[in-house]
Chain A
Amino acid sequence: DGGITQSPKYLFRKEGQNVTLSCEQNLNHDAMYWYRQDPGQGLRLIYYSQIVNDFQKGDIAEGYSVSREKKESFPLTVTSAQKNPTAFYLCASSITGTEKLFFGSGTQLSVL
């Protein structure tokens, strides 16, 4: 079945540690996105990529980094510079030129 897979479902980060969240899709979508969701709040855009080897900052990119070496994969690294990383992270993909995003099931990141 086609879809978006995020892993792990739960992740814990120690002080000063970088952690990487995985996002893989087999929908053959060109565009991929990372959103952050805090309790009781909407989704805020971290980074997005319209094509392989290219990506743009969203509204809250500070403390995060991404790469897009393959069409299917768009990993997100939460660096130690992100002082408040506890949140639910959602990856999504879409066909370029359409706005219909398909989401993964999310990764809950918590700080130890």
Chain B
Amino acid sequence: GQQLNQSPQSMFIQEGEDVSMNCTSSSIFNTWLWYKQDPGEGPVLLIALYKAGELTSNGRLTAQFGITRKDSFLNISASIPSDVGIYFCAGQNKMDTGRRALTFGSGTRLQVQP
């Protein structure tokens, strides 16, 4: 099946620092999404991207849809303690009629030291 490689696996940073994480795919996607999961809860959608090269922001979060359509990036600026959680990338190729569901990366676990 489709493979998503997400890195880094985990990050431990100081409050106020910026954070970057990325995701690469073995196949082309035409949609990339970024989710955040708090412990014991379901993921919550942060940003959705629909076009190669697209750059979208949501507050302190900025995500980009890679030009090759095989990667995506998420940046968090000026981190705060409530940014703690697991961040997942997810992608889908709508042309893949055999699979009409998102594929998820393995997640980046973020810890923020106050």
Contact = CB atoms under 8 A, between A and B. Distances in A.
Given A42-B4, A99-B31, A99-B33, A106 B42 contact: yes
A92 B105 contact: no
Interface residues of B, number: 25
B71 to A, nearest CB: 16
B66 interface: no
A41 interface: yes
Nearest to A33: B101
Interface in A19-43: 31, 33, 35, 40-43
Interface stretch (B14-22, B43-51, B72-80): B43-51
Given A42-B4, A99-B92, A92 B33 contact: no
29 contacts: A4-B42, A31-B100, A40-B9, A40-B107, A41-B107, A42-B4, A42-B6, A42-B104, A43-B43, A43-B104, A45-B102, A45-B103, A48-B100, A48-B101, A56-B100, A58-B101, A59-B1, A90-B43, A92-B42, A99-B48, A99-B90, A99-B94, A99-B102, A100-B48, A101-B43, A101-B45, A101-B102, A106-B40, A106-B42
Given A40-B107, A41-B106, A43-B43, 16 more contacts: A4-B42, A6-B42, A31-B100, A40-B106, A42-B88, A42-B106, A45-B102, A45-B103, A48-B101, A90-B42, A99-B31, A99-B92, A99-B102, A101-B43, A105-B40, A106-B42
Interface of A: 4, 6, 31, 33, 35, 40-45, 48, 50, 56, 58-59, 90, 92, 99-106, 108
